[in-house]
Amino acid sequence: MTDGEAEKAGGQLAEQLVRFARLGPRAKGMLHVGDFGAEFSALMLLFPLRHLGPMRVTDLAEVKGADPSTVSRQAAQLVKAGLARREADPADGRASRLAITQEGLAACLQLHQARNALISKALSGWPVERVRTFADLFEEFNSSVEALVRCDPAVPARENA
């Protein structure tokens, strides 16, 4: 592939990624998971809490690549909705960590199932091998972007997580 062909292919991919990002809010609305008592963006904090365990809001913000004040507001929504709880940080009794509750785990499961059902529906006309190939290539792409972002000194440190 020549440099020009590579640039054209990269541009085509960029256009499709922008198209995909624009579809996000509409697809999110199709999840039909009910009202968990918190904004969707707050609900997305449940997944790292489920996978990584309890953590301080500042650490959660770093994991999500988000502003700590935004994550703090979202964490308050999760606590109010009963999806997460605050607990003392064993390393520093003056600090607190956010931990997922059983209700939060159930919400994660519902969100996960709804997302997978929506993706399965979108790909229902694809042969399984093509879905696997796409998933493998998309994983490789994400890994390449993550490596690039981690190495770029222009990217703020909290976004390098």
Distance from CA of residue 24 to its chain's centroid? 12
Is residue 50 within 8 Å of residue 105, measured between CB atoms?
yes
Task: Tell me the two tokens of residue 134.
Answer: 């796409």
pLDDT of residue 155: 62
- The tens digit of pLDDT for each residue in 99-122 reads 999 999 999 999 999 999 999 999
Residue 137 has a pLDDT of 95
Identity of the residue numbered 67: D
The whole-angstrom separation of Cα 86 and Cα 60 is 13
| Tokens linked to 145 | 């972007």
Provide the residue ranges of all domains of the chain, joining segments of one domain with +. Answer: 12-122
Helix (H) or strand (E) holding 25: helix 3-29
| Residue 157 pLDDT | 53
Largest CA distance in the chain: 59
Q: What are phi and psi of 94, to 5 degrees?
A: -80, -20
Tell me the whole-structure pTM to 2 decimals.
0.76
Q: One-letter amino acid identity for 84? A: A
How many other β-carbons are positioned within 10 Å of the β-carbon of residue 158? 15
As a whole number of Å, the CA-based R_g of the chain is 19
Low-confidence ranges of the chain (pLDDT < 70): 155-161
What confidence score (pLDDT) does residue 158 get? 47
**How much is the pLDDT for 1?**
78
Q: Does domain 12-122 have CATH number 3.40.50.2300?
A: no
